[in-house]
Structure 1
Amino acid sequence: MARSFEKIAKINERKELWKIIMKVHHKWNVLSNNKEHLELIFVNVDGTNIHVVVPIALKAAFDSVLVINNTYIVTNFLPQTNDIMFKTSEHPFIIRFTVGTSVSDINKHEISRKNLNFKPFSDIILENGITISY
């Protein structure tokens, strides 16, 4: 029997065998120590988004496959705590691709475009304990 689809909002560290339908909302390359990896934002049908990291060793395999605004079924990835300093998602976890991660069924599912939701500067300042004097 095929595994059912799960929502991005339910992703946690308790398991690695996930199966989600998502759209690539945003995609960029990150250069660190002269090595480049891929990062993305996935969004699902209910508008929930999550930050995604594709490590250096897997970048070549997924870079041309994952296209902005295309939808996919993504299975078998590693959820990790979202401890990134500059968060692109409010989700408590990020997705890290592994050698077992697969991407399939391009554009067989309909997910509408998500609007960007920027955090107000006042919230950023308050969270970081920054004081501004004039």
Structure 2
Amino acid sequence: MARIPDKIRSIDGSKETLKLDVRITDLWFVGTPNKSEQAEMVFVDFEGDQIHAICKSDHLKSWKADLKENCTYVMHNFKVVKNDGQFRVCEHEYKLFFIGVTVVREADLHELPFKEFRFVEFANVVAGNFVSGLLVDIIGVVDQVVFRHNCIFHFAWCLCLSYPYEVMDVMLFLCYSGEILSCTLWENYCAQFLSYLNERGDDGPMVIILTHARIKDAQVEFCCCCCWHLQEDAVCVTVGTISKIVMDNHSWCYPACAQCHRKTDIQTGPFTCGCGKDND
């Protein structure tokens, strides 16, 4: 008689000889391929419950070819650890790690649910009603696109993707149900977005979905945007002068070209950028 699968919601760290019938609803890779790369994924079972699973580099070679997003599997044996890291992909109290005796077998379990987005309400983000460190899904209409360099502008709360990169970034202002949030896309995500933006042209409203985004309390102590509650339709333009930029332990900046925004190693004095722009 076949063993009854364990339910994800019943995983409590008391045993590691688990049997799970799951679908991989999200799969991504972190690190340098063939060196320090590891796979991270989200499992969902028949009850719709989710759990975060990680296959580290020492086991990834065995399983990388078999792990596919949206495919269904019967899996056995994991190391179960507390889900108490700085960032949490799922709400589940525990997460799973592949180990040497983990068994992965692809199976036809078509009744397993597919990915279900769990969108956070903008109003709750603005009000601070969210679980700190829990990554979220976001959907909104792009209201404005802003390239950022030298200093950071923001609303009361800022959304950042969970895997930060170094230099190039773009800020999106997303609108939903009358609320506006700023969202930062870093390097590779920024490049993908700008490529799509250039290809689509001016083709009406653009809806963006972000998965596994981090809600981040804004660090800089000023805001470039103001909002009013108006009794009638109107267009408001605010013109201001930045008199001072306050830098604290969480802030950062870098010298850059005024035209192409590329970073330069020259700390002081005028310079000519590779794009040909003379910077004072």
Equivalent residue, structure 2, for 1:61: 62
**Greater Cα offset, 71-80 or 102-111:** 102-111
What number of residue pairs does the alignment pair up? 132
Establish whether residue 37 from structure 1 lines up as the match of residue 43 from structure 2: no
TM-score (norm 2): 0.43
| Distance in structure 2 (CA, Å) of the matches to 1:113 and 1:2 | 25
| Distance in structure 2 (CA, Å) of the matches to 1:51 and 1:88 | 6
Q: Which whole-Å deviations, capped at 9, do the CAs of 1:17-65 have from their partners, x for residues lacking one? A: 0001000000011117x61111100011111000001011111111111
Alignment of 1:29-108 (within 5 A): 29-31=29-31, 35-108=36-109
Q: Quote how far apart the aligned CAs of 1:96 are.
A: 0.5
Q: Quote how far apart the aligned CAs of 1:107 are.
A: 2.2
| Distance in structure 2 (CA, Å) of the matches to 1:119 and 1:80 | 26
Q: What residue ranges of structure 2 are gaps of 5+ in the alignment? A: 134-215, 224-280
Question: Which letter maps to 2:37?
Answer: E
Q: Quote how far apart the aligned CAs of 1:108 are.
A: 3.7
| Distance in structure 2 (CA, Å) of the matches to 1:29 and 1:65 | 14
Question: Which letter maps to 2:98?
Answer: F
Q: What residue ranges of structure 1 are gaps of 5+ in the alignment? A: none
When Rg is computed on C-alpha atoms for both structures, the one with the higher figure is: 2
Equivalent residue, structure 2, for 1:3: 3
1:72 touches 1:109 (CA, 8 Å); kept in 2? no
> RCO higher in 1 or 2 (8 Å CA, sep ≥ 6)?
1
RMSD between superposed Cα atoms in Å: 2.4
TM-score (norm 1): 0.85
1:47 touches 1:114 (CA, 8 Å); kept in 2? no
| Distance in structure 1 (CA, Å) of the matches to 2:11 and 2:21 | 12
1:71 touches 1:110 (CA, 8 Å); kept in 2? no
